[in-house]
Structure 1
Amino acid sequence: MSDRSLAQIAEKLKSIDVAMLVTKTGEEGAIAARPMSNNKDVSESDGTTFHFATDDGRIDDDLKRSDECGATYTSGEFYCAVQGTGKLHRDRATLEKHWVKDLEKWFENGLDTEGLVLIEVSPKRIAWWEGREQGELTP
């Protein structure tokens, strides 16, 4: 076991643009995963990440049904699994706070994209591995 601070792990996660965001889906609670950018928006104090999507896909329905979710990250020999809860934000002020210009390649109308939502993932457990080192944090 190795000791790394939450801030150190958050820095690693910031450097990995795309995570596989995992939710429970459907009435049976099957697992669904999709690639999502964290836009380098990772809190060093608690590991919270933020991801933009639109509400015309399955992810918003999944999070309405169950807020349990997770995300996996990998880069080189670094692997990380985040387990936590997801919350949907639709208010303009919150979306503006987390918006970055690079998102316009996915959302051509920017903050005015119809159905734009922000997914806040609050971790309850973060497990990580890098080479022979590994650790777990519970923010």
Structure 2
Amino acid sequence: MAEKTEQEKRETVKELVKDARICMITTMTDDGRHVSRPMAVQDVEFDGDLWFFAYGDSDLVAQIGRHPQVNVAFSDTRHKSWISISGEAVRTDAPAKAKDLWSPALKAWFPEGLETPGLTLVKVHAETAEYWDAAHSSTVLTLIGYAKAAATGRQPDAGENETVRM
């Protein structure tokens, strides 16, 4: 298989993010602990920025205000792919953007819709991404590969693994 170009790697990340949808975003507390919480990426075409709705007084928003470097991790076991995106997060109070990103499902977390007091956006600008994509391997072949690796002491072929600058 030919080596992928950086643009092809970026396109792979874009497709994997689109399929995964739910992620864990990791921030840092003032005392240096990492904290992760589940978040839903808003339904926009991934162009290097990930968008999330949050409450302005949440720990997430406070933490990115002091330590903007975050990690966003996706696990899509249905498609056998995993993505880890490192980037810089910022709170963005942009009513027009919020309106563009809003979907009715968000009312479960923000009951008054776009009028919910304290509603804000968090934008994560991706700097690097690493992904693992084993979608083209069947589960049986993957398990056989792991068993073979255990027997031979070699690392299993876990599919495509790339790191890309966004």
Q: TM-score, normalised by structure 1?
A: 0.89
Alignment correspondent of 2:44: 41
Q: Deviations over 1:58-86 (max 9, x none)?
A: 00110110111110001122011000000
AA in 1 matched with 2:76: S
- The correspondence for 1:122, drawn from 122, 125, 145, is 125
Alignment correspondent of 2:102: 99
Please tell me the root mean square deviation across aligned C-alpha atoms, in Å.
Answer: 1.7
AA in 1 matched with 2:17: L
Alignment correspondent of 2:13: 9
Q: How much does 1:41 deviate? A: 2.6
Unaligned runs of 5+ in 2: 135-158
- The correspondence for 2:162, drawn from 123, 135, 138, is 135
- Distance in 1, Cα, partners of 2:125 & 2:3: 23
Equivalent residues, number: 136
91-100 or 128-137: which moved more?
91-100
Task: Point out the structure with max Rg over C-alpha.
Answer: 2
AA in 1 matched with 2:86: Q
Q: Using a 3 Å threshold, how does the CA distance of structure 1 residues 68 and 124 change in structure 2: closer, same or farther?
A: same
- Tell me the secondary structure at the aligned position of residue 15 of structure 1: helix
Which is helix-richer, 1 or 2?
2
- Distance in 2, Cα, partners of 1:85 & 1:61: 14
Q: Percent identity?
A: 21
- Distance in 1, Cα, partners of 2:161 & 2:98: 34
79-88 or 4-13: which moved more?
4-13
Q: How much does 1:48 deviate? A: 1.2
Alignment correspondent of 1:52: 53
Q: Conserved in 1, the CA contact under 8 Å of 2:50 and 2:124?
A: yes
Q: TM-score, normalised by structure 2?
A: 0.75
Q: How much does 1:39 deviate? A: 2.4
- Distance in 2, Cα, partners of 1:74 & 1:2: 24
Q: Conserved in 2, the CA contact under 8 Å of 1:127 and 1:136?
A: yes
